[in-house]
């Protein structure tokens, strides 16, 4: 991919890696599909780093602007599906 991932300079290297992995999971949902459990695990870690809804929306917008992938519908689908589901846009 030829774009950058949104992150804060205040985060540790580990937090940046975890947020990038969450956005990679969003990409995977669009491109191939991803197990709900894996996406949920990455989203929960993302929420530990970005607990604010307003901040979450900001990072989602930045990611969509860079990549063309909208995170919100994938997260919504993840919340509505059963544990063994595959999330695919």
Domains (ranges, CATH) in the chain? Answer: 13-87 (1.10.220.80)
Mean local confidence (pLDDT), 14-34: 97
CB-neighbour burial class of residue 50 (10 A; exposed 0-12, middle 13-18, buried 19+): buried
Asked if the model's pLDDT at residue 48 lies above 60, the reply is: yes
Q: What is the mean pLDDT of residues 41-53?
A: 97
Can you give the pLDDT at residue 3? 81
Burial (CB count within 10 angstroms: exposed 0-12, middle 13-18, buried 19+), residue 29: buried
**Residues 37, 22 contacting (CB under 8 angstroms):** no
Question: Cα separation of 6 and 4, whole Å?
Answer: 7
Could you give the percent of the chain with pLDDT greater than 70? 99
- What does the DSSP 8-state code read for residue 11? S
pLDDT at residue 1 greater than cutoff 60 = no
* pLDDT for position 13: 97
């Amino acid at each position: 991919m030829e774009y950058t991932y949104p992150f804060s300079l205040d985060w540790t290297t580990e937090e940046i890696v975890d947020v990038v992995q969450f956005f990679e999971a969003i990409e995977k949902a669009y491109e191939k599909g991803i197990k709900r459990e894996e996406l949920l695990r990455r989203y929960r870690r993302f929420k530990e780093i970005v607990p604010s809804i307003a901040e979450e929306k900001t990072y989602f917008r930045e990611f969509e602007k860079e990549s063309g992938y909208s995170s919100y519908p994938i997260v919504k689908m993840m919340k509505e599906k059963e544990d063994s589901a595959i999330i695919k846009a």
